[in-house]
Structure 1
């Protein structure tokens, strides 16, 4: 099964870290990502820029309105995503609980919606076939 792991971070705490501390944390995270790769569990991922550079689209009176930053009212913002292959949720939890990024903030683990993702893949393949 595929799982989407959402890593959250409190940016106000992160910016207080020294360059050396950030380097050490990143190296630990990348090293563990390599462990996941070697085990066939790492499917991909992306780090995200600061929430200060984000916008949120939301419906308002039948229109789409753009607002600055993330919509959620929280100190912790989404810092990145990791796509994981695991046997089941317990396996995903076991793998991600060892990830050094979990020390920086919470990781939310959600099963991927295989039915919808199959539809998305089929549409993508159809567009590719048209080209």
Structure 2
């Protein structure tokens, strides 16, 4: 079964870097330098299919179509403290294994990881 690991943070990248010694900030976005070891382990296990960090929320564009018109808004849709920092797509036997994989991700120590199974037809 395929799962999406949605990596979300509630903390401003600069503040996160100040409070977590293994986090560096690049381009206004937090990057956990320990993620490389996690990627190597999960790639070695054949669990991680792909993933990436994403640009900061300030660079997002929200798209809606209303009455046939395309409406765009700069930034994320909702004004929340949480922001999506990145994602990974994994393939695991079941939810328990997906949780185990997510718990090993370095971002789980400073942020949160939402685990969602892909919809199967």
Of residues 57, 64, 67, the one that matches 2:70 is: 64
* TM-score when normalising by structure 2: 0.82
Q: How far apart in 2 are the matches of 1:103 and 1:72? A: 25
Cα-to-partner distance string for 1:76-129 (whole Å, 9 max, x where unaligned): 1111110111101111011111211112321111111243xxxxxxxxxxxxxx
Larger Rg: 1
* Aligned positions, number: 113
The equivalent position to 1:82 in structure 2, one of 66, 82, 88, is 88
More strand by share: 2
Does the residue aligned with 2:104 lie in a helix, a strand or coil? coil
What residue is the counterpart of 1:107 in the other structure? 113
Q: Is the 8 A contact 1:76 1:105 kept in 2?
A: no
Q: Unpaired segments of 5 or more residues in structure 1?
A: 116-131
Aligned to 1:127: none
Q: Which runs of 5+ in 2 are unaligned?
A: 25-30
Stretches of 4+ moved more than 2 A in 1? 20-23, 59-62
